[in-house]
Amino acid sequence: MAQRLVLLCVLILFLSNQVNSDDLELNYYGFHGLNSSGSTNLTLNGVAEIESNGMLKLTNDTLRVLGHAFYSSPIRFRNSTNGKAVSFSTAFAFSIHPEYPKLGGHGLAFVISPSKELPGSLPSQYLGILNSTVVGNFSNHIFAVEFDTVQDFEFGDINDNHVGIDINSLVSNASTAAGYYEGSNSSKKELNLKSGDVIQAWIRYDADKNQVTVKLSPSSVQPMTSILTFDVDLSPIFQDYMYVGFSSSTGLLASSHYVLGWTFKMNGDAKSLYLDTLPKFPKFKKKHKGVIVGVSIGAAVLMFVLASGLLGFYIVRKIKNRDVIEAWELDIGPHRFPYKDLKKATRHFRDKEVIGFGGFGKVYKGTLPNSDTQVAVKRISHESRQGLQEFVSEIASIGRLRHRNLVQLLGWCRRRGDLLLVYDFMPNGSLDKYLFENPRAILSWEERFKIVKGVASGLLYLHEGWEQTVIHRDIKAGNVLLDAEMNGRLGDFGLAKLYEHGSNPTTTRVVGTLGYLAPELTRTGKPTPSSDVFALGALLLEVVCGRRPIEPKALPEELILVDWVWDKWRAGAILDVVDPRLGGEFDEFEVVVVLKLGLMCSNNVPKARPTMRQVVRYLEGEVALPEAVASPGAYERSKGGVDGSTGGEFEDYVNSYSYPTSSYFEKASTWSCDDGDVDFEAGSSSSPTSVSGKGGASYPR
């Protein structure tokens, strides 16, 4: 009898934790009475908490955190008879408060998942749902609707204010700009997810139509028209029992994500929320005054790609478990290393030998067998056979590049799912280790100037000095390596192009790093030599200032490096931006040349940037810089868009500022030059075709 009673209790407990989908209905008009552990019906983890006023706060303004809130019991989402997914609907009110008003801090998502903990999930662009290892796997069994305030190019986001339907991945199956319809015949109205306003969302899955619909509104009334519709059968996505709830995350920029109320119903329509009856939002004090100007919101997004670090781009698919050398590989150069030699050189790819991480994989330090030659071995893996031969052929091309300011590719190896690239070892590491946070050593101004001239020379070779134009696509301090003599050498050139051989040829990927991406890339996705010049502009400024292009820990007016430098330039205090760790030991004229050139290269209008040949001539003192410098944010304020079709960009050139008079600038203006004019093409055929800078001076030899 006692044993039967125990079994009965166990059965009751089991059944109580699994909710019958036929009669489930959840109604949270605020979350009053729930404690920080989620009480008995909500499970919270990460930084998620219930505030005293009854709001569910998924994340706060802490960087790189995530928050989850799930209904504690699993719910049956598939019919036990035929295995078909069951209809459901939900409505919830949310509000997003970014740390910086114009910049998002990622977003939140409504999630249906096999787990309420989402183990191994990452913050930043992963929204606390997945991680880089499992993203896209069919075994995830994840359904989510994201409300994203960051445009992440890795996942193909359409903008920084969108709604997306995600299945097993953060690459949305369908997405649209956030908005709503007031009536059946009205046009779509814009809705700013970052505004801090309370927004209501309705999500419905119709199992008969195999259709997901999403609606948004700033009011309590459910619109008649959906902003997003996606036809899909969720039966193979769902398991029998799933958890339902919310996930959110922050990255290097943060937002506080709130849910004020939530209703959910299986096999029926969830009740709409009356926003006036929900917990009232306290008035937030703005931490930062002013408007952040001159930064592409698309560029702000990609910082999260850098911050997430450790992201593996898969370049060659796993092939048979044998080290097979195919016939076409025998004719490929440069040198093909035996796998066993590289394994021995890196001590079996021991973690202690790792000297760096990149978007494409880990980099190991090694010493080749029977030699004292030190090398750097980059280990890359890929899961697609597509483009393998083209990939290795591209390596052959890159292996023939020869320049003193490029990191030399010595050879390669392909085995199983690994592609190994062998480079010259750079004993002094990457430039970013000497510029930011706690540098390993303070570079003198002479060393910095030599480095930027070397990088510019190497980039000119890639653009014009070889038989093909090579666009680097990821110029940044982390990809500038320093040899034994502290010469700057560009590394990782061509890898972005190599990656495309293994990607979907119908998609356009924007490759690069936040703060270095030219604004036109966010529209076209097509890199050009001019987009490399834009990234070089960011590098020039950070070498002088010792600061990253976007510095989240800085004061609001100093957040965007190019804007800060520009403001100081206009105020006549340009030397205030020089890295204080130099202790005032620098050549003032050289510093002004580099800063001025950095501003010119950072112009949002591609035609306004100099070519790499001009950049090198300016740095070498062969040609004088123009006296006038256009605002780097000319495009932001022009009426004609990126191409300046209405002449707006020309107005900015006319109203541009030159460096105010000072003792050293007066000295510079007395020097002569043969060619002091630089022409900028205006965007309108009706506008003058050039503006000439006057009074420039060549750098004395």
Helix (H, G, I), strand (E, B) or coil at 280: coil
CA nearest to 481, candidates 423, 402, 394, 441: 423
Q: Which two tokens stand for residue 310?
A: 């450790």
Q: Which two tokens stand for residue 666?
A: 């007066």
How would you class 29 by CB atoms within 10 Å of its CB: exposed for 0-12, middle for 13-18, buried for 19 or more? middle
What CA–CA distance (Å, rounded) separates 331 from 393? 10
What CA–CA distance (Å, rounded) separates 631 from 648? 12
Helix (H, G, I), strand (E, B) or coil at 563: helix
Helix (H, G, I), strand (E, B) or coil at 347: coil
Q: Which two tokens stand for residue 457?
A: 């020379």
Q: Which two tokens stand for residue 223?
A: 């619109």
- Report yes or no: 248 and 258 within 8 Å, Cβ to Cβ: no
What CA–CA distance (Å, rounded) separates 318 from 342? 19
What CA–CA distance (Å, rounded) separates 125 from 129? 9
Helices and strands (H and E) in the chain: how many? 14, 28
Please calculate the CA angle 556-562-565 and round it to the nearest 5 degrees.
85
Phi, psi angle pair for 218, to nearest 5°: -85, 5
- Report yes or no: 563 and 549 within 8 Å, Cβ to Cβ: no
In whole angstroms, how far apart are CA 3 and each of 6, 9, 10, 377?
5, 10, 11, 64
Task: Please list the active-site residues.
Answer: 474
CA nearest to 140, candidates 173, 118, 163: 118
Altogether, the residues listed in the chain come to a count of 701
CA nearest to 259, candidates 180, 198, 178, 217: 198
**Beta pairing class for 143-148 and 49-50:** unpaired
Q: Which two tokens stand for residue 77?
A: 């989402």
Residue with tokens 């814009």: 190
| 379 CB neighbour count, 10 Å cutoff | 18
What CA–CA distance (Å, rounded) separates 538 from 299? 12
> Is 320 known to sit in a ligand binding site?
no
Phi, psi angle pair for 336, to nearest 5°: -100, 115
Helix (H, G, I), strand (E, B) or coil at 533: helix
Which amino acids are annotated as binding site for ATP, given as ranges?
Answer: 378
Binding site feature residues: 378
